[in-house]
Structure 1
């Protein structure tokens, strides 16, 4: 089982963040953690969830730019993606 790390969430790859989030959920669901540890795990899990969601949203925007948007229109090319 993957243990929570001290790696800053912003520095984590999507896959690593998701794996750690899944491990946290398993630990919390087990009910074996003390209250303070559970709270810390929950807070870390919230950070990981937000990070994963932001990465997914970013990927969706990039795909929409390539495919021509939500309407599914054929693209006439690609647009530069400004992440800033």
Structure 2
């Protein structure tokens, strides 16, 4: 039995993107059985949403850069 996949929410952006790229290549190859392809598609959808959230968080942090006396500084966005 293969090792269980890590929870998507615990992956870094880079880990999620790498797994998503692997899934896309596998699906584009067309060699997966239907059930495996459906599972991969579902996982890929979750990975894409996770990556989008991570990018939105990063964008919010960049937009939160405010000039300070000592140069740019990050402020909390929460």
Q: Name the TM tier (shorter chain).
A: 0.7 to 0.9
Cα shift readout 1:61-80 (whole Å, capped 9, x = no counterpart): 000010x5xxxxxx355422
Question: Is 2:63 aligned against 1:64?
Answer: yes
Whole-angstrom distance in 2 between the partners of 1:59 and 1:52: 10
Unpaired segments ≥5 residues, structure 1: 69-74
- Name the structure 2 match of 1:29: 28
- Name the structure 2 match of 1:14: 13
Deviation of 1:50 (Å): 0.3
- Which residues of 2 match residues 46-61 of structure 1 at below 5 A? 46-61=45-60
Question: Does the 8 Å CA contact 2:23/2:40 hold for their aligned counterparts?
Answer: yes
Give TM-score scaled by structure 1 length.
Answer: 0.78
Higher-strand-fraction structure: 2
CA-based RMSD: 1.4
Whole-angstrom distance in 2 between the partners of 1:38 and 1:25: 10
The number of aligned residues is 71
